[in-house]
């Protein structure tokens, strides 16, 4: 497996290790499932790749889910390459349209899942202690604090990103279904 297929780019590798160090230093991002979790909310940068895919995986598992972008405009389709790769894994993003964080209404029972520590802190700044936030990558079988944005990466990383997100959402779903 090449660096580009595993991390997207040299910058993706650097960000992966920086996030790993920060995650271990702060040690506040370990996933837990609050008993009252009723909906999972996936948030990424633009809501055209990672969070869109995570919602599609959750939908296929009949998990109540939504997805939003921190820095996007409303009603854009999913990235064409993500649509293609997702379809190869059995997920359709054809009907996906971006939703902005401004349209998100936090509810009791929401578990918010973001892709990196920058997004984690942005959501914590927006919602404070009301928002239960975790890193989606920590749910992967090989946990990681950083899921690089595949937007400007090659197809190999789109494939890796899809595998990581699918694995993480499946594990998250199992944990939610096992909660007391």
> Domain 3-178: which CATH class?
alpha beta
**pLDDT, average across residues 42-64:** 97
More confident of the two residues 59 and 127: 59
Q: What pLDDT does 4 receive?
A: 72
Q: pLDDT for 55-73, tens place per residue?
A: 999 999 999 999 999 999 9
Domain spans in the chain, listed from the N-terminal domain onward: 3-178
Cα torsion 16, 142, 129, 121 to 10°: value is 10
Cβ atoms 69, 151 nearer than 8 A = no
What lies within 8 Å, CB to CB, of 90 at 6+ separation is: 60
> What integer pLDDT is reported at residue 23 of this predicted model?
58
> What pLDDT is stored for residue 19 in this prediction?
65
Q: Specify the pLDDT at position 156.
A: 86
């Amino acid at each position: 497996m090449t660096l580009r297929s595993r991390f997207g780019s040299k910058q993706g590798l650097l960000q992966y290790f920086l996030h790993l160090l920060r995650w271990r230093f702060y040690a506040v991002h370990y996933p837990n499932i609050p008993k009252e979790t009723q909906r999972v909310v996936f948030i990424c940068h633009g809501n055209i790749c990672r969070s869109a895919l995570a919602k599609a995986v959750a939908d296929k598992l009949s998990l109540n889910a939504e997805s939003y972008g921190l820095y996007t405009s409303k009603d854009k389709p999913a990235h064409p390459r993500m649509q293609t790769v997702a379809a190869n894994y059995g997920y359709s993003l054809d009907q996906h349209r971006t939703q902005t964080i401004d349209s998100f209404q936090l509810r009791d029972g929401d578990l918010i899942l973001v892709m990196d520590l920058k997004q984690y802190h942005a959501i914590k700044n927006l919602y404070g202690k009301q928002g239960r936030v975790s890193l989606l990558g920590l749910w992967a079988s090989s946990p990681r604090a950083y899921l690089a944005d595949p937007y400007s990466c090659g197809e190999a990383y789109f494939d890796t990103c899809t595998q990581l997100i699918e694995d993480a959402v499946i594990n998250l779903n199992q944990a939610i279904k096992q909660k007391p």
